[in-house]
Chain A
């Protein structure tokens, strides 16, 4: 399986990754290898098999529409991130 430069470029853009030019080739062949590995699945005969939405034999795991009375403190919630006036600080991504 081959991975062309354009596909790699698209994947990098979707993941917001900057891939240095010297790493492109190694990365391409590495991803191609993984795809080849997964391609083995296509060898299976799935004729007449219903598409599976979930691997666990479960359905309707639902909760009641009731608010939880104790809220997590905002300082605790935001402790792992940079914030100002309660807002999560973001890198400039818009505009």
Chain B
């Protein structure tokens, strides 16, 4: 039996995290009752006109730059015509011959082997609606109609399921990192179609390929690739010709099956959309987008560990969430103790909702011992409720650490005078008795005394007695 290799190209659709849809001002986020997030434009009603969302161009360009693409100076929108009830206009606005981004790549590493996977193009397009099938028949929900997508098309450079997985993981990491999508397979904000053909190892021709659609997890993608490769080898070995077709993967049977649609008759009849004018991007636009491209995630991690001296686990936790990492980087510029900042941020369950300058202020107050260690949580809670200045809240809540040694001095004297038994016990060698005295000091200062300082002061005074 000849040895075969698979030739794989991936088409990945990613939802852009804009506030509004691509051609109208309907909200683009998930949720809502059926048909409550749509309007005459995204429902394709006659007489309406689409207007392109500026941020879609920016987000798609940034994604392209993160994936090493060239960004177009001239780009345009086209109509892709096809009939399906989740598409009210009977065409999808997409891009055919002038996509926004082209000629990129992603470097992957599988078992120590480096490989570069080419990216043919990235174009912008609108999502379709959702069909809901009930006993009574089918209904259409247009909430998703017009949600902005980018489609990222790879070169057929992928040879194994492991490489496909590595490519997708790196793609997701980079797109999340550049901040234009959350890329979640579970919610459908990232979707993947696989194009696969086989050939004898050493052959460089391309043969009949099939497309496997609607794969909704990395695990299924890997399994579908293995199952489809095995099927194509079986067919070839048995002397049966492969058909170019769309297939689906059934995880229960671990097999792909044909969708049996009239492929040969499909013809999208693309043409330039007369409702939308060309997108022209100048060198200045490119430079503006370029300025928003962050360093690579691994560069950031190295910086946190080597320059800011964060423990590796702490640095990794920060870098897992790009928004959190960016917030940390911004706040860290103004603090002397980045590790303290990182710990404060990671201890909070919703750190990204607090502005960088608040984190800076909080860290610096802690570092200077101006507030005690339990104060940050109280301050953050109060800040979320009131939005007041941190310094005002420290005063209001009485969270200042007592720095006034004169005050601490007199409180210590009072406590010693008021607790002769504890003092006698301590002098008799029961060191634990000092805890009772400390407790009294904390009580009288309402917890504001610095414990180390207070203990030292007490010991000093007791020694003199």
- B-binding residues in A (CB < 8 A): 10, 13-16, 53-56, 58-68, 71-72, 74, 77-78, 83-94
Contact = CB atoms under 8 A, between A and B. Distances in A.
B136 A54 contact: no
Interface of B: 18-20, 25-27, 33-40, 43, 51-57, 76, 81, 83-85, 98, 131-133, 136-142, 262, 265, 267, 269, 272, 274, 276-280
Contacts of A93: 84-85, 138
Given A89-B139, A91-B137, A94-B138, 6 more contacts: A14-B81, A59-B277, A67-B27, A71-B36, A71-B39, A87-B132
Contacts of A85: 34, 139
Contacts of A60: 277-280
Contact of A59 (B51, B267, B279): B279
Contacts of B85: 90, 93-94
Nearest to B285: A60
Given A63-B52, A65-B53, A13 B138 contact: no
Contacts of B43: 77
Given A62-B52, A62-B54, A88 B19 contact: no
B140 A88 contact: yes
Contacts of B26: 67-68, 71
B34 A86 contact: yes
User: For chain A, what secondary structure do more than half of its interface residues adopt (helix, strand, loop), or is it mixed?
Assistant: loop
A90 B276 CA distance: 29
A81 to B, nearest CB: 9
A88 B35 contact: yes
B57 A62 contact: yes
A59 B39 contact: no
Nearest to B138: A90
Given A61-B52, A89-B137, A66 B35 contact: no
A63 to B, nearest CB: 5
Contact of B19 (A13, A16, A65, A90): A65
A83 B59 CA distance: 36
B14 to A, nearest CB: 17
Contacts of A92: 137-138
Contact of A77 (B27, B39, B56, B84): B39
B140 A90 contact: yes
A59 B56 CA distance: 16
A94 B272 contact: no
Most buried by B among A10, A16, A60, A93: A60
Contacts of B37: 71
Contacts of A58: 277
A85 to B, nearest CB: 7
A86 B33 contact: yes
Most buried by A among B35, B83, B131, B141: B35
